[in-house]
Amino acid sequence: MVFFDYPDKLPDSYVGFWGPVTATIDWCEENYILSPYIAEVVNSFTNFAFVALAIYHLYSTYKNQFGGLYVYISLGFASVGIGSFLFHMTLLYEYQLMDELPMVYVTALPFGYIFSWNQPPVKRYLWRIGTFVVTALFTYIYIFVHRDPTIHQIFYAILNFGVIYKTIKTIHSVVTDPASRKTLYKMLVLAVSLFIFGFFIWNMDFVLCSQLTDVRRNILGLPLGVFTEGHGWWHIFTGLGVYYFIIYNQILSTWMSGRQDSYKLVWHGIFAEVQLQKEKDE
């Protein structure tokens, strides 16, 4: 059912409020079609999924005493959403970097931590400094040498697969309770599945862009057409995937620190929280 027709298609020569597109990537959503001030409305506002989940996780981290690492991860999680909002709103290269680079940095934190954990002091130092140096080198290359987004995607994937590989090895070495192992594996599968599903929808949006645009304009109209913006769904599913991946790492961290008996995984509807349990009076 069409409630409202889409505005007329803008000419290719149209320059929006933020000026010519300087980003190295442009998405399927028609630029400035719904607002003269926001290049991609749906792709912009779906980033609030990141920000909302990050704010909740920051509150949970503070309440449940998870310390500085997860505070930084929560803030990095929120910065990805803010940077991505600015990127899709403006399609300017400097804001593209504010989207892409925080994704790398927020993943490099647990990467350096998990690989340095339980290592002798020298190896621990080398892993953390090495992670910082390699991440800084990637940043320099990506900004000043070669701006191909594929480089960003490959480096980001390496960090994620590294964290997954090392955390699975750590589960085998420190998690002695079979039920807890099962819970960790379920949480990991949930997080990765959400990533993969969001990535699939994003790619369908890319491959079938002209067909989807035609369906939006000639069949669905507004507001139903916005639900076919695949990159917007990628933001939502990726946000959820990141959230559950952080929860997975938090559960494991309680075992790594020997505090597993003080914490419990609690579900609030579809959202999970690793909750510090109050000590009972003796």
Q: In whole angstroms, how far apart are CA 218 and each of 31, 116, 122, 125, 224?
A: 18, 55, 64, 59, 12
Q: Is 88 annotated as a binding residue?
A: yes
Q: What is the pLDDT of residue 282?
A: 40
Does 28 fall in a domain?
Answer: no
Identify the band that residue 45 occupies on the pLDDT scale cut at 50, 70 and 90: very high
Query: By residue range, what is the domain housing residue 258?
Result: 41-276
Greatest alpha-carbon pair distance for the chain in Å reads 75
Asked if residue 27 belongs to a known ligand binding site, the reply is yes
Q: How many residues does the chain have?
A: 282
Annotated ligand binding at 30? The verdict is no
Among residues 32, 44, 27, 28, which one has the least CA distance to residue 7? 32
pLDDT at residue number 200? 94
Q: Is the pLDDT of residue 281 over 60?
A: no
Cis, bond preceding 110 (omega within 30 deg of 0): no
Give the pLDDT confidence score for residue 13 in this predicted structure.
87
In whole angstroms, give the CA distance from residue 208 to residue 213: 9
On whether 231 is known to bind a ligand per the annotation, the reply is yes
For the segment 76-105, the average pLDDT, to the nearest whole number, is 95
Residues 231 and 28 sit within 8 Å (Cβ to Cβ): yes
For the entire predicted model, the pTM comes to 0.92
Per-residue pLDDT, 65: 94
In a domain, 141, yes or no: yes
Report whether 235 belongs to an annotated binding site: yes
| Res. 8: pLDDT tops 50 | yes
The total of other beta-carbon atoms located within 10 Å of residue 65's CB is 11
Angle at CA 42, nearest 5°, toward 16 and 18? 20
The answer on whether 160 is annotated among ligand-binding residues is no
Domain-embedded: residue 26: no
pLDDT, tens digit (0-9, with 9 covering 90-100), for 215-258: 999 999 999 999 999 999 999 999 999 999 999 999 999 999 99
Q: Is residue 159 part of a domain?
A: yes
- pLDDT of 280 over the 60 cut: no
Q: What is the pLDDT of residue 160?
A: 94
- pLDDT value, residue 279: 60
First and final C-alpha spacing in the chain: 64
Q: Which residues contact 84 (CB under 8 A, 6 or more apart)?
A: 47, 50, 98, 99, 235
What are 46-82's pLDDT values in tens digits?
999 999 999 999 999 999 999 899 999 999 999 999 9
* Predicted local distance difference test score (pLDDT) of residue 3: 78
| Per-residue pLDDT at 278 | 77
The enclosing domain of 197 has a CATH number of 1.20.1070
Note the pLDDT tens digit of each residue in 125-174: 999 999 999 999 999 999 999 888 899 999 999 999 999 999 999 999 99
C-alpha dist (Å) from residue 279 to 106, 168, 182, 219, 265: 33, 30, 26, 59, 16
Flag whether 279 is marked binding. Answer: no
40 is in an annotated binding site: yes
Whether residue 78 is contained in a domain is answered as: yes
Q: Considering the domain boundaries, does residue 14 fall inside one?
A: no
Number of domains in the chain: 1
pLDDT number for residue 1: 53
